[in-house]
Amino acid sequence: MPDLSQRHTFGIASRCRVLHEFCSVQQLLDLYPRETPCYIMGEGSNTIFTEDYDGLVLVNKITGVEACHEPGGVSLRVGAGENWHTLVAYTIEQGWGGLENLALIPGSVGAAPIQNIGAYGLEVGERISQVEVVDVVTGNTFTLTREECQFGYRDSRFKRAEAKYWVVTDVHFWLANDITPVTAYAELAALDNPTPVEIFNKVIEVRQQKLPDPAVLGNAGSFFKNPTITTSEYEALKQLHPTIPGFVVNDHQVKVPAAWLIDNAGFKGHCIDGVCCYHRQPLVLVNQHQATGEALLALARAIQQKVSQLFSVTLAPEVRLLGKQGRIEL
């Protein structure tokens, strides 16, 4: 059985029945099974195999970067199997601004629209123009516009039931020449009229200070989403917890940092059998020492339970958890 421990960045020891890589749409369709359970993935930075997976794993290795200069900017078509940070670094080297806030996010280009990855005030959906997709059951290929992708906070149409058999093959980006730098985030706001290169370098510096390198300490980045609650719920919480931060989403909703909730629930640095809540950023769970899936799920559920008990807020996982038969819901 193929080893999966190096196929997902959390690094839990696990195996699958069969594993193949595919480099084209046709190869994917040829490999896709009709009966055996199948999981299709990229670099595994947002997937955690908590135990052996009783099925076929297909790894997206569709590559290629095509740039087309147009009036007002540059259009990029990028294979889903390309590394995300490598793409961001490439655009900076070429002098194209727009993606610099998303530097050093682990994972593949194909995963970016599914998760609508975001950091330091920017979400990737703001830079995507369209996404190429194949339905592995029908074999049909089609393209979705940015609006059709229905991007939301760490969310997209690709997470809906209708997209169960969709696979992202290529992602198109539009990087306009006159993009306004996104510098609302604290560390970036301190920069004086920064260039894309300066933002890129600062984001890398901040991320390296706060977040563990998956190559050194197994992790899947932010384990939980930042919860969105109603304005009235937030005001009630603020009466009980005056220091609780909140970011206004609209007239009726406020986003609360999950890291603050987890930290104030007493979990920063807390460990269960080799799985720890990272001491510098409690939103990240790490594989401290030969962690097991059982320990990971135990810690995650303990955090959920305590946060719900103390703050009446439900934390939802940002990562995909895979068990023997497929997805695990916390």
Output the six-digit token pair for 197.
């290169």
Residue 75 corresponds to which amino acid? S
Task: Catalogue the E-assigned strands of 125-226.
Answer: 128-135, 141-145, 166-176, 218-222
Taking a C-beta distance cutoff of 8 angstroms, is the pair 239, 330 a contact?
Answer: no
The reply to whether 154 belongs to the active site is: yes
Q: Which of 45, 123, 222, 320 is catalytic?
A: 222
Q: Which of 51, 100, 132, 318 is catalytic?
A: 318
**From the CB of residue 327, how many other CB atoms can be counted at a distance below 10 Å?**
9
The reply to whether 222 belongs to the active site is: yes
**From the CB of residue 67, how many other CB atoms can be counted at a distance below 10 Å?**
15
Contacts with 205 (C-beta within 8 Å, 6 or more apart), sequence order: none
Give 48: exposed, middle or buried? Use CB within 10 Å, 0-12, 13-18, 19+: buried
Q: What is the residue whose two structure tokens read 């969310």?
A: 155
Residue 111 CA from chain centroid, whole number: 7
Phi, psi of 308 (to 5 degrees): -65, -40
Give 329: exposed, middle or buried? Use CB within 10 Å, 0-12, 13-18, 19+: exposed
The reply to whether 75 belongs to the active site is: no
Q: Which of 45, 51, 82, 154 is catalytic?
A: 154
| Residues involved in catalysis | 154, 222, 318
